[in-house]
Each structure stands twice: as structure tokens, then as C-alpha cells.
Structure 1
Amino acid sequence: MDVIVTPTPVLKGEIGALSSKNYTTRYLLVAALAEGTSTIHFPAHSEDSDAMRRCIRDLGATLEEDEEKIVITGFGSRPKDIKELNVGNAGAVLRFLMAIAALCPEVTFVNTYPDSLGKRPHDDLIESLGQLGVEVEHQQGRLPITIRGGQPKGGKITVSGSVSSQYLSALLFLTPLLAEDSEITVLHDLKSKVVVGQTLEVLSQAGIVIEASEDLMHYRVPGRQQYKAQEYTVQGDYPGSAAVLAAAAVTQSDVTIHRLPVESKQGEKAVVDVLKMMQVPLTHENDIVHVQGNGHLKAVEFDGDAATDAVLAMVAAAVFAEGTSRFYNVENLRYKECDRITDYLNELRKAGAHVEEKQAEIIVHGRPEGVEGGVTIDAHYDHRVIMALSIVGLRAKAPIRIQDAHHVAKSYPQYFDHIQALGAQVEWV
């Protein structure tokens, strides 16, 4: 389905942030890896977290859910011997479970999204699993991927962090369960260190002991550990809320979002600071962000590596800022559901934005007067691109039609409902 976003000068109202996708997928996994029963309060519902629900159930966990919580009885270190897993279009779920599948005799991850996840490479994780004695059959690093494990062995492991931190997180979930102690060394650079911090936080809450160096490039992981069954509460999601906050920033607004912890470890929390730097009137107290936008923004320079999933929304806000904005250290945006630099900027240009790209940078020459709009644009099946393009539509001079906008459900199924509740003129077609 497509969505038509009609220019909307005023947004007003209050919403509760959706629950964090990143924390939900990690809590679901550690609950499944525990023997015993865990409870997760306020879990997110999105295509990614639902893919994790489906796969851990296939691997032998039992799940009971109501509107406020999910109760999971885990399979511990002994997942069910199954032949096939379908993660849909969820890259993080695939990578985490490729590591856990090493505990199974043979599992094939099928390729149901050949034009999206099916195009993404996983060579770095495949290489690391090989060091554990796991045989991996793959198509030049891509799906379908068959893992032949059963008896992975710990020890000295290296993993590249230059494309994604998810490969490292996958190993951190697996290695505590192995008979041997492990040492993990990250090669090259490590992207999205903040997200690794979230993984370590969740592992610690699950009773797992890991020694990490200060720069997060070296880890000592004792073997023969057990995940403990626990109670978890999922915090509000900054990556999804970044789009709503940016929409409030570019309009005349009085918008309040609840459940965004001031002390969160989510890197995308930086969206609040970036909007302040852009001179957007807002406050952030008692886990509540209150934006009173006036549509006037100043250009900004920002290192996007720690806030990857909020960069596109911040770029959309910068389209309407006075001056030239620069978002740098963002090359890993190229390796997501689409190339979030080239593909996204091409669509922004269609809408009338003045943007440039470098290999690891996005440069935005702001147009405070607004952009023309009046076009149909392709969001490349990417939830973050869909949300970011909708922000531009609110300040365009004519409506923008976003193709295949239903893919927003990958992380934020209620996104258009939420901005409609704030007054945005949005129509599904």
C-alpha cells in the first residue's frame, strides 16, 4: 500500500513512545536461552520482534502473551533440532540466530526477501563461526544460509566490526554457553558501539558475565554459563520516536512523547540533542520529551555513528534548516534494508531537497522555504526511509506519495496512526 502525505502546518497532541525494537529482540533471545520462565513487560510489536518471537518458538521456547507482557519458557542451551528458520526481512534476528543455530545439527535460513535482506552480506559472521568449528554453506555470504553446528568450540575468535556490530553481538550471545572460555577480538573498526552497549546491558541483566575492554574491541567470556530466567521491562524506542520528533521540529507544533528515558543507553537518544542544536524549542524531563516547534531550524554537524537509526529523520529535518548540515561517519547506512545514503538522497532530490553524498557523509543544503513535493517516491521497502520521507511531505508545497509505505511495520506499525493522531494529513491508497 502507498501513503499520501499532504502538507500539514500544525501538529499537536501527546503519544506514548512505542517500545524499543532493539531491546525487545534481545530480551526475547535471552529469555529463550534461559532455562525457566521469564516475563517481558511492554514488548514491542514489529516485523523484526515478531520474527524473533516466531523463530524462538520454532527453536523450542513456549510463549504466552497478553496486551502488556509476554511470558517465555526457554530452551536454554539446547534448542530444538529443526531444519529451517524464516526470519523474514529482519537482519539483526538473522545474525543473532545464525550464532545460536550453531548449537543445532543443521539449520537452513531461507531467503524470503531476495530484494532486501537477501542482498545483504554476512561474510564477517560466517568467518567467525568457522573459527568455532561451525560449517556454513552460503551464497557468497548471502541467504539462503545453512549452519551445520552441534558442537561449537570456544577459544580465540576474531570478528570484523567494520560493516555491522550485529556480528559481534551474535557471538556475545553464543559464547557464554560454550564449554570453553572465549576471547573475542574485534578487527578493523567497530560500528554502532552504542548498540553493543545495549547487548552487554541485556546480557548482564540475564546473569551473564563478560569482561569488555573500555574501547569495546576485546572481550573475555567465561564458558559454561547459564542464562537466568528474569523479569524485564522494555523502554520506549528512540529510533522510531526520532521521526515523530523531527516531524514536530519542522512544523508549528506542541507535541509530547512519553516513555523516553533520559538515562537511556540508546544512541538514538542523541536526536534530542541534535534538535536542540538546531534550535528547536524542546524539553526532556521525567522521561517526557515536549517539542514546541516553530518550523525554524539551524544547520548542524553531527557524527552519526552512535545514532545510526535516527540519522535519516535528522537529515529530513535538516532539509528545512537554514544553512548547510553535515552528517558524517555514516557509511554503515549503506548496508541496511537499502543503501540508506544513495537510495534515500535520490528520493529526497525528487521531492526538491538539495542534498549531496560522499562515501560516509550526507550533506544537506537547507531550504527553509520548503520543497516542491508533488511527486511519487520509492522508499525501497525500508521502514526508516518511509518515516523520513513522510517528514519531508509535511513541509512540502504539494502532497508526496510514498510507495509501499506499509513496510513501516518492520519497526513501527503504528507510525502513521501516531502522526495522524497529532494532526498529520495522511491517506492510505
Structure 2
Amino acid sequence: MDVVVTPTPELRGSIQALSSKNYTTRYLLVAALAEGTSTIYHPAHSEDSDAMRRCIRDLGAELEEDGEKIVIKGFGSKPRDVRELNVGNAGAVLRFLMAVAALCPDVTFVNAYPDSLGKRPHDDLIVSLRQLGVEVDDHEGKLPITIRGGAPKGGNITVSGNVSSQFLSALLFLAPLLEEDSEIEVLDDLKSKVVVGQTLEVLEQAGIVIEASEDLMRYRVPGGQRYQARTYRVQGDYPGSAAVLAAAAVTRSEVTIHGLPEKSRQGERAVVDVLRMMETPLVHDGDDITVRGNGKLKAVEFDGDAATDAVLAMVAAAVYAEGTSRFYNVENLRYKECDRITDYLAELRKAGADVEEKRDEIIVHGKPEGLEGGVEINAHYDHRVIMALTVVGLRCRQPLRIRDAHHVAKSYPIFFDHLQALGANVQWQE
């Protein structure tokens, strides 16, 4: 389904932040890898987290859920022997479970989204898994992928961090369960170090011991460990909330989002700092963020590597800022559900934005007077692109029609419900 975004001058009200997708998927996984029963309070519901629920159930975990919590009896280091796993369009879920599948004799990950996840590369993780003695059949690093494991070995492992930190996180989930100790070295650069920090945080909460170098490029992982059954509480989701905060910044607004802790380790918390740099009136008090937007924004320069999933929303705000903004060190945006640099900027230009791209940069020449709009744009099946283009549509002079906007459900199923509750004129169209 498509969404039509009609110009909306004002947003007012308050909403509760969605629970964090990143933390939910990680808590679900460590609960499944534990021997015993874990409880996760306030887990996220999205296509990604639901894909993790479905797959760990297929692998032998027992799940019971009500409106407040999910209780999981894990399979420990012995997942069920399954022939196929379908992760939908969830890249992180695929990569984490490719590592877990090394404990199984023969698992094929099917290609359910050939035009999105089916195009994304996983070569770097495949190379590392082969170092563990795992056989992998793939299609030039892409789905469908078959893992033939059963008895992976520890030892010295290298992994490239150039494309995604998810490959490293996948190995960190697996390595503690191996009989031998492991030494993991990251080659090249390491993207999204903040997200690796979230993985290490969750592993520590699950009772796993890992020694990490200060620069997060080397790890010592003792073998023979066991995940502990624990109780977890999921915090609010900054990546999704970034789009709502950006929407409040580009309009006249008084919008409060509850459930976003000031001391969160989510890298996308930086959206608060960026909006302040843009001179957006904003107060962050405890777990509440209030934006009193006046639609007047100043250009910024920002290193986006630590806040990858908030960059597109910040770019959307910069479209209406006075001056030229620059978001750099963001090449890994090219390896997401779509090429979030080339594809996103192509759609922004259709709406009338003045934007440029370099290999690892997005440059925005702001138009405080607004954009013309009045066009149909393609979100490329990408939830972050859908949310960011919606922000842009609020300040266009004519409506924007966003194709296939239902894919927002990958991370934020009630995004448009939340915007409507704040007064945004957004309507579903067949």
C-alpha cells in the first residue's frame, strides 16, 4: 500500500517510543541460546523482531507472550535440526542466525525478498564461518545460503568490518559456545562500533565473558561458556523515534516522546545532539524528549557512523535547514535494504531537494522555503527511507505519494498511527 503525505504545518501531542528493535532481537537470541527460562519485558513487535521470534521457535525455543512480556525456554548450544529458515527481510537476524546455524548439520536460509535482502552481500561472514570449519554454499555471497556445520571449531578468526558490524556481532554470539577459546581480529575498518557495544552489553547481561580491546578491533572469547537465563527490559527505540523528532523539528510543534533514556547506549541518541546543533528548541529530561519546533533550522556537519539508523531522518531535517549540511563517514548506508545514499537522494530530488552524494557522504543544500512536492516517489522497500521521506513530505507545498509504504512495518509498524495522533495528514491509499 502507498501513503499520501499532505503538507502539515503543526504537530502536537505525546507518544510512547516503540521498544528498541536492536535490543529486542539481541535479547531474543541470547534467551534462546540460554539453558533455562528467560523473561523479556516490553519486547518490540516489528517484522524484524517477529522474524527472530519465528526462527528461534523453529530452532527449538519455546515462547509464551502476553501484552507485557515474552517468556522463552532456550535450546542452549543445541538448536533443533531444521532444513530451512526464513528471516524475511531482516538482515541482522539473518547474519546472527547464520552463525548460530553453524551448530546445526544443514540449514538453508531462503531468499524471500530477492529485490532487497536478496541483493545484500554476506561474504565477510561466510569467510569467517569457513575459518571455523563450517561449509557454506552461497550465490556470490548472497541468498539463498546453506550452512553445513554441526561441530564448528574455535581458534584464530578474522572478520572484515568494512561493510557491517553485524558480521562481528554474529561471531561474538557463537564463539562462547565453542569448545575451544577464540581470538577474533577485525580487519580493515569497523563500521557502527556503537552497535557492537550494544551486542557486548547484551552478552554481558547474559553471563558471557568476552575480553575486547579498547578500539573494539580484537577479542578474546573463552570457549565452553553457557548463556544464563535472565530477565531483560527493553528500552525505547531511538532509530525509529529519530524520524518523529525530525518531523517535529521541521514543523511548528510541541511534541513529547516518552521512553528514551538520556544515558542510552544507542548510537542514534545522537539525533538529539544534531537537532540541538540545528538550533531546534528541545528538552531531554530523564526519559522524555520534548521538541517545540518553529521550523527554523541551521545546517550541520555530522559523522554518521555511530548513528547509522538516524542519518536519513537527520538528512530529511537538513533539507529544510538554512545552509549546506554534510553527513560523512556513512558508506555503510549503501549496504542496507537499498542503497540508502543513491536511492534515497534520487527520491529527494524528485520532491525538489538539492542534494549531492559522494562515496561516503551526503551533502544537503537546504531550502528553508520548502519543496514543491506533488510527485510519486519510490521508497525501495526500505523502512528508514519511508520514514525519512514522510518527514520531507510534511513541508512540501503539494502532497507526496510514497509507494509501498507498508514496508515501514519492518521496524515501526505504527509509525503512521503515531504521526496521525500528533496531527499529521498522512493517509493510506491502495
TM-score range, shorter chain: over 0.9
Partner of 1:21: 21
CA displacement at 1:215 relative to structure 2: 0.2
Whole-angstrom CA distance in 1 between matches of 2:402 and 2:68? 32
Partner of 1:197: 197
Partner of 2:48: 48
In the TM superposition, 1:284-299 aligns within 5 A as 284-299=284-299
Partner of 2:179: 179
User: In the alignment, is residue 265 of structure 1 matched against residue 255 of structure 2?
Assistant: no
Counterpart residue type for residue 80 of structure 2: K
CA displacement at 1:328 relative to structure 2: 0.2
Partner of 1:250: 250
Whole-angstrom CA distance in 1 between matches of 2:426 and 2:316? 17
SS of aligned partner of 2:239 = helix
SS of aligned partner of 1:125 = helix
Whole-angstrom CA distance in 1 between matches of 2:71 and 2:397? 48
Counterpart residue type for residue 204 of structure 2: S
In the TM superposition, 1:299-338 aligns within 5 A as 299-338=299-338
Partner of 1:343: 343
Partner of 1:383: 383
CA displacement at 1:25 relative to structure 2: 0.1
Partner of 2:160: 160
Whole-angstrom CA distance in 1 between matches of 2:283 and 2:47? 31
Partner of 1:33: 33
In the TM superposition, 1:368-407 aligns within 5 A as 368-407=368-407
Partner of 1:61: 61
User: In the alignment, is residue 79 of structure 1 matched against residue 45 of structure 2?
Assistant: no
Partner of 2:229: 229
- Provide, for residues 358-392 of structure 1, a one-character-per-residue CA deviation record: whole Å limited to 9, x for no partner: 00000000000000000000000000000000001
Whole-angstrom CA distance in 1 between matches of 2:421 and 2:344? 26
SS of aligned partner of 2:326 = strand
Partner of 1:90: 90
* Identity across matched positions, percent: 81
CA displacement at 1:286 relative to structure 2: 1.1
Whole-angstrom CA distance in 1 between matches of 2:244 and 2:334? 23
Whole-angstrom CA distance in 1 between matches of 2:259 and 2:348? 31
Partner of 1:2: 2
CA displacement at 1:285 relative to structure 2: 1.1
- Provide, for residues 147-192 of structure 1, a one-character-per-residue CA deviation record: whole Å limited to 9, x for no partner: 0000000000000000000000000000000000000000000000
SS of aligned partner of 1:13 = strand
Partner of 1:133: 133
Counterpart residue type for residue 43 of structure 2: P
SS of aligned partner of 2:381 = coil
Partner of 2:151: 151
Whole-angstrom CA distance in 2 between matches of 1:190 and 1:3? 36
Whole-angstrom CA distance in 2 between matches of 1:351 and 1:329? 25
> Cα RMSD between the aligned structures?
0.3
CA displacement at 1:253 relative to structure 2: 0.2
SS of aligned partner of 2:194 = helix
- Provide, for residues 87-136 of structure 1, a one-character-per-residue CA deviation record: whole Å limited to 9, x for no partner: 00000000000000000000000001000000011000000000000000
Counterpart residue type for residue 151 of structure 2: Q
Whole-angstrom CA distance in 2 between matches of 1:283 and 1:156? 47
Whole-angstrom CA distance in 2 between matches of 1:328 and 1:259? 29
Gaps of 5+ in 1: none
Counterpart residue type for residue 255 of structure 1: V
Partner of 2:124: 124
Whole-angstrom CA distance in 2 between matches of 1:124 and 1:412? 29
Aligned residues: 429
Whole-angstrom CA distance in 2 between matches of 1:401 and 1:108? 38
Partner of 1:241: 241
Counterpart residue type for residue 101 of structure 1: A
Partner of 1:115: 115
CA displacement at 1:59 relative to structure 2: 0.1
Counterpart residue type for residue 361 of structure 1: E
- Provide, for residues 371-426 of structure 1, a one-character-per-residue CA deviation record: whole Å limited to 9, x for no partner: 00000000000000000000010000000000000000000000000010000001
Partner of 1:362: 362
TM-score normalized by the length of structure 2: 1.00
- Provide, for residues 329-379 of structure 1, a one-character-per-residue CA deviation record: whole Å limited to 9, x for no partner: 000000000000000000000000000000000000000000000000000
Counterpart residue type for residue 345 of structure 2: L
User: In the alignment, is residue 169 of structure 1 matched against residue 169 of structure 2?
Assistant: yes
TM-score normalized by the length of structure 1: 1.00
Counterpart residue type for residue 350 of structure 1: K
